[in-house]
Amino acid sequence: MRKTKILICSSEVGAGKRGASLGPDAVRLSAVNLLFNIFERLPTEEIKIKKINKFSPENKSAKYIKMIIQVQRKIARKMAEAQKEGYTTLIFSGDHSNGAGFISGMREAYPDKKIGVIWIDAHGDLHSPYTSPSGNMHGMPVAIILCIDNKENQTRRPKPEVIKNWDRLKQTGLLHISPKIHPEDIVFIGIRDLEAQEWAVIKSNNIKYFSPKEIEKQGIAKVIKKTEEHFADYDVLYVSFDVDSLDPSISKGTGTPVPDGLSMDDAKKLLKAFYAMPNFKALEVTEVNPLLDSENKMATAVVKILREAISFY
């Protein structure tokens, strides 16, 4: 049985809508209600962050980037510590920008290992300050870890200060390793709402992905098998599960719901299969927003998925 530790970072500074900072507590409440109280049975650490209401966006091309640098440094340090102590990590995060910090910590812990990332999401999160239409940094974590600017598809002209901070962000971690992974080290599952600039990155770098059409055509079992085969020779596997990968018919309790998403059953099968892989080291659950929900449906769905897919103790 794996030794597992829960890490919580409730920062929502990268999101365009407020409320994701309440997501981890919403999941905790549902876990108690559904008698799956892993927060009491597993060692749990909350990564302390400053509250967003003391800050302003400052830059439209990369909102709150200074604060996000601070948050991701803390995340990376705590993640690296947990991995070096031999834990697999179960992560409950506010918004998806935090994912770059957790993967930076993974790279800090395993500087010479082959790290694979499974990104289960409706979105590609491949924007940069040069391309983002919103400037919300929860749309940028994959670009951060891949160290991709995408200037060839540039639609914005970031200020020099933003460019400087963006370069600092890509080097998060004590070893300043950049990029954290390479395009062949990531597989997207469920992506369906990407801008042209993001699709250009995927196509030009030959990044592997399974859209809803591909999942429907091939079946979830084949998607799982192909993903397992892709990462079979990797030393470390990180799984990121954005709840907007789920179909909005399950719940609208996330900042950017998109139709044609995963079913509950498909999500359970994916997480169960990837958790069982011998190189699995971390699962991140992110973007639960109870302020956009009713009756805490999204957090409840998450707990049901975890309870049936994974055994943490």
pLDDT digits over 60-113, tens only? 999 999 999 999 999 999 999 999 999 999 999 999 999 999 999 999 999 999
Q: What pLDDT, on the 0 to 100 scale, is given for residue 53?
A: 53
What was the pLDDT predicted at 174? 94
- Interval 174-185: pLDDT, tens: 999 999 999 999
Q: How many domains does the chain have?
A: 1
- pTM above 0.85? yes
Structural domain containing residue 20:
4-309
pLDDT for the residue 50: 73
Sort residue 182 into left (φ over 0), alpha (ψ -120 to 50) or beta. Answer: beta
Q: Note whether 101 and 23 are within 8 A (CB).
A: no
* pLDDT lower than 70: segments of the chain: 1, 51-56, 312-313
Q: What is the mean pLDDT of the chain?
A: 95
Position 302 scores a pLDDT of: 98
> Tell me, what's the pLDDT at 56?
65
CATH of residue 105's domain is 3.40.800.10
What per-residue confidence (pLDDT) applies to 59?
A: 83
